[in-house]
Amino acid sequence: MSQDQNQEICCPQFDPIPWNDQILEWKEKKFIRGRVWTFFFMPINFAGTMRKLDQKLREAGAFSPDQLCLSYHKSKWNMEVLLAVDKTVPGLDHVKISGRYYSRVYEGDFRNTGTWCKDFEYQADAKNFKTGKMYMWYTTCPKCAKKYGKNYVVILAEVL
């Protein structure tokens, strides 16, 4: 094993099967919210925001089921990240999400995001889904994606 492969892996290995081409039913699913500055949609302070959320999560003795972290680009200058939590985390902004969500899994380089989004819209339309707010879930950090040899991204959209 190379020295790079021997380094600690911080993200669990992602299983795409339960998330691919699925309808998820959420009733007041709990999340904590962070804000990330972006430059033409490219995250600037993503790692710092995630470290802050993780630190608060650990201090509260909470955990994130599936390490589910949804990203929502509000504009080309900022995005929200919603990290799923099992309980209230003091000092952070909380959000509860309810509804039906359609999810599909994609794999590859982030530069394919535009193609993935077009495919997602095509697949949702083929199922006669009218979709609302769309989220991206980057399932592993770039270092862990390299170690696992797969870079999975889940696109989820509310089904209206």
DSSP state letter for 129: -
Domain residues for the domain of 125 are: 20-159
Residue 96 in domain: yes
Residue 2 confidence (pLDDT): 44
pLDDT at 7: 57
**pLDDT lower than 70: segments of the chain:** 1-9
93 found inside a domain? yes
For residue 9, the model assigns a pLDDT of: 64
8 Å CB contact between 115 and 154: no
Assess if residue 104 is contained within a domain.
yes
The strand ranges marked E within 5-77 are 22-39, 42-43, 69-73
Give the tens place of pLDDT for each residue, 10-37.
888 999 999 999 999 999 999 999 999 9
Work out how many domains the chain is built from and give that number: 1
Task: Residue 121: give its domain's CATH number.
Answer: 3.20.80.10
